[in-house]
Amino acid sequence: MEIVHTPVLLEETMQFLAPRQGGELMIDATVGEGGHSYAFLSRFPEVRLIGIDADQDIQEIAKKRLNEFGERVRWYTGWSHDFFADPSSEKPDTILIDLGVSRYHYEKGERGFSFMRDEVLDMRLDRTQGSSAADLIAGLSEKALADLLYTYGEERYARRIARGITEAKARGRIRHSGALAEIVARAVPFRGSIHPATRTFQALRIAVNGELSRLPELLEKALGALKPGGRIGVITFHSLEDRIVKHFFRDRSRNYNCAQEQPIGYRGDRSVTVLCRKGVCPGEAEIRTNPSARSARLRVVEKAGNEDRYQDQYEEQR
């Protein structure tokens, strides 16, 4: 079993999410190859864990890696927000959500995640659902493609790239990552050490997997599933997803006054406490050994303990 992914901000994550009592349940909502999970299970012998991933292939790697922990580990294959939507599930004490795409997908996934390899242009984490990147490109107009690249990739040359892709589509379907990377490279200039196709591939991956559209629902349901007093840690890798996480936690950390005109069920008190207001970024030493960590940021909140009081108030008013 070959492990290719290095978990980012590992020590910082373990510091903030360390168990506060025995027998806690932790959910690794994006388990990947199991790097973070392995560290928690090894360092904290009483922790129980549920590993979730939409990609069955990479989850099989994690299962082999964590096999030594036996019945302390359970598994769920699918999207995390679907798991948290089940009201019958045991409420966890801790939730970790690492939003980065595993290095496995770039090096071993063979789905066109990387512009450095010539692979079938798929990009789906769950290959049983949705449209591939090739399907998405084939079905989008030039304007829609430019909007996608600008919105999800923050690509300043979005229109020029979309025009180049549309012209190439007229000659035949774009089926492989290598062909797409060449089209983008011809359309825009190189920018220092960054490959010109970097933002295009990011935008397509986000769109194919619904990464940003799923995120608010995931955060809402994860917070709802968490025990009062429990903690959620979220690791982001680009400004688009970090902005969503930051605003979500900020909005739920504010104090409000409960007024008569507020709607039924309105919770006046803050629902979380932010534990690292600006987030935690990797240090220079980690970036040197793991350059893919350079854009990572960890945000952590602790859920308030007044959930039951407000739920009871809600039921009474109904």
Q: What is the DSSP string of 137-159?
A: HHH--HHHHHHHHHHHH--TTHH
Confidence of residue 4 (pLDDT cuts 50, 70, 90): low
Tell me what pLDDT residue 313 has.
31
173-215: pLDDT as tens digits: 999 999 999 999 999 877 777 889 999 999 999 999 999 999 9
Question: CB of 45 within 8 A of CB of 69?
Answer: no
Beta-sheet pairing, 231-236 with 297-303: antiparallel
- The answer to whether the pTM exceeds 0.75 is yes
Measure the CA–CA gap between 235 and 161, rounded to whole angstroms. 30
> If you average pLDDT over every residue of the chain, what do you get?
89
Least confident range from 66-70, 186-190, 266-270, 294-298: namely: 266-270
Q: In whole angstroms, what is the distance from residue 313 CA to residue 136 CA?
A: 47
Q: Which pLDDT score is estimated for 169?
A: 95
pLDDT reported for residue 286: 94
Across 65-89, b (16+ Cβ under 10 Å) vs e yields bbeebeeebeebeebbbebbeeeee
Both tokens of residue 79? 């999207």
Q: pLDDT for 44-90, tens place per residue? A: 999 999 999 999 999 999 999 999 999 999 999 999 999 999 888 89
> Which CATH code fits 10-101+212-317?
3.40.50.150
Judge whether residue 261 has pLDDT over 60: no
**Which tokens sit at 89?**
């599930």
Give the per-residue SS3 of 168-223. Answer: HHCCCCCCEHHHHHHHHHHHCCCECCECCCHHHHHHHHHHHHCHHHHHHHHHHHHH
Instruction: Say yes or no to pLDDT of 168 above 50.
Output: yes
- The more confident residue out of 88 and 270 is 88
Residues 22, 275, 287, 215: is their CA dihedral positive or negative? positive
Least confident range from 16-20, 171-175, 194-198, 215-219: namely 194-198
What's the pLDDT band for 317 if we cut at 50, 70, 90? very low
Over residues 256-260, the mean pLDDT reads: 44
Token pair 């199991």 in the structure block, residue: 34
Answer whether residue 3 shows pLDDT above 90.
no
pLDDT at 311: 39
Matching CATH topology for 10-101+212-317 and 110-209?
Answer: no
Map out the domains of the chain as residue ranges: 10-101+212-317, 110-209
pLDDT at 262: 45
* Torsional class of 173: left (φ above 0), alpha (ψ -120 to 50), beta (otherwise): beta
Q: Smallest Cα–Cα separation from 235: which of 9, 6, 3?
A: 9
At 166, list the tokens: 């549309």
pLDDT single digits (tens) 107-137: 887 899 998 889 999 999 988 888 999 999 9
Does residue 316 have a pLDDT over 60? no
Which of 17-26, 134-143, 158-167, 246-255 is the least confident region?
Answer: 246-255
Q: Is 76 helix (H, G, I), strand (E, B) or coil?
A: strand
Question: The domain 110-209 is classified under which CATH number: 3.40.120.10, 1.10.150.170, 3.40.50.620, 3.40.50.300?
Answer: 1.10.150.170
Burial of 217 from C-beta contacts in 10 A (0-12 / 13-18 / 19+): middle
Specify the pLDDT at position 267. Answer: 46
Residue 157's Cα: distance from chain center in Å?
26
- pLDDT for 274: 95
Q: Report the alpha-carbon distance of residue 93 to residue 303 in Å, rounded.
A: 10
End-to-end CA distance of the chain: 55
| Residue located via tokens 């959910």 | 27
Token pair in block for residue 102: 């595993």
Whether the predicted pLDDT of 310 surpasses 70: no
